[in-house]
Amino acid sequence: MNNKTYPSICRLCTASCPVTVEFDGQTVTSAKGIKSGAPFHGFFCKRGQSLPDHIHHPDRLLYSLKRQPDGSFERIKVEIAIAEIAEKLNLLIANHGPNSIATYMGTFSGVYPLAAVFAQSWMAAIQSTMIFSSMTIDQPGKGVAANLLGRWLAGPQPFKGSDVCMLIGGNPLISYAAGNVPFQNPAKHLTSEIKAGMKLIVIDPRYTETARRAHIHLQPRPGEDASILAAIIHTIISEELTDSDFISANVAGFSHLKSVVAEFTPAYAATRADVPEQLINVCVRATCGL
């Protein structure tokens, strides 16, 4: 049988890496990254490489199952399953209200364009507000902080060409997502920017894969990264390293920020976080390009 190859994307996460899929009849024999072209440059992680196993794994579920009273599962026609589920949902809504029904959308839903839209429309139709996702469960602080403090409307600093990259609790070499490091082939992008002169600062209690490449690695006590950031802000303000024209034109609440970080001297933060005070000062100089 002739093998055929097709271009596609990996749908295992939102990076959507481009891939060449090889078929031998009905069987996927290999999936490989496509070497040409930025920003991926052939990146195709271990999870992606296991795609043929995902597709042809003997335990892969290809039809609906219903749990039986003894705990075992039996095959059920999809139209019967939907009718039974609808009956149970209607009962729940009638007895406990719409918010007794919740949905959860994880990373996989992100790469299927209709999944999230359909789920949100369905929740609106039954008037339930209980919509959860990998963001609301894993890292709700990001959304809460953005809503409390607002966003920098000019958008993020482009990673390429940055003088400094400071990662706080991020390990993009493994997670593929941290700060503004491109999640398509993070190792390659990090390496090329470091070669171009970018300074990498990592604040993380763990000596991570990314921390191993850092020019400065601060290992605070867990939970004390905010103290270090407050000390950096404190020092930048107290040494008048700020751009005062820019601040008066664009920033609200600057004096409040100054008072909030007033007690966070590098010495105080160093004690709280258990890091060398001198390294906090080095971070200040690096972030200010001094």
Nearer to ligand SF4, 49 or 219 (CB): 49
Quick one: which segment of 9-17, 72-80, 82-90, 161-169 binds ligand SF4 (CB under 6 A)?
9-17
Nearer to ligand SF4, 13 or 164 (CB): 13
The answer to whether 185 contacts ligand SF4 (rule: CB under 6 A) is no
Cα dihedral across residues 114, 118, 121, 127: positive or negative: negative
The answer to whether 188 contacts ligand SF4 (rule: CB under 6 A) is no
Nearer to ligand SF4, 210 or 227 (CB): 210
Residue 233 and residue 65: Cα distance in Å, rounded? 56
Q: Residue 3, Cβ neighbours under 10 Å: how many?
A: 11
Quick one: which segment of 5-13, 72-80, 156-164, 212-220 binds ligand SF4 (CB under 6 A)?
5-13
Quick one: which segment of 39-47, 54-62, 117-125, 235-243 binds ligand SF4 (CB under 6 A)?
39-47
The answer to whether 48 contacts ligand SF4 (rule: CB under 6 A) is yes
Query: What one-character-per-residue DSSP string does 215-283 give?
Result: SEEE-PPTT-HHHHHHHHHHHHHHTT-S-HHHHHHH-SSHHHHHHHTTT--HHHHHHHHTS-HHHHHHH
The answer to whether 93 contacts ligand SF4 (rule: CB under 6 A) is no
Closest approach of Cβ 111 to ligand SF4, in Å? Answer: 8
Nearer to ligand SF4, 157 or 175 (CB): 175
Residue 29 and residue 132: Cα distance in Å, rounded? 36
The answer to whether 13 contacts ligand SF4 (rule: CB under 6 A) is yes
Tokens of residue 154, six digits: 């000019």
Closest CA to 199 of 219, 215, 220, 185: 215
Residue 37 and residue 40: Cα distance in Å, rounded? 7
**Which residues, numbered 123-182, are part of the site for ligand SF4 (CB under 6 A)?**
176
Residue 240 and residue 204: Cα distance in Å, rounded? 27
The residue number with the shortest CB distance to ligand SF4 is 48
Nearer to ligand SF4, 10 or 261 (CB): 10
Closest approach of Cβ 259 to ligand SF4, in Å? Answer: 44
Residue 171 and residue 290: Cα distance in Å, rounded? 26
- What is residue 173's DSSP assignment? H
The answer to whether 17 contacts ligand SF4 (rule: CB under 6 A) is yes
Nearer to ligand SF4, 5 or 127 (CB): 5
Q: Give the footprint of ligand SF4 on this chain (CB under 6 A).
A: 10, 12-13, 15-17, 44-45, 47-48, 176
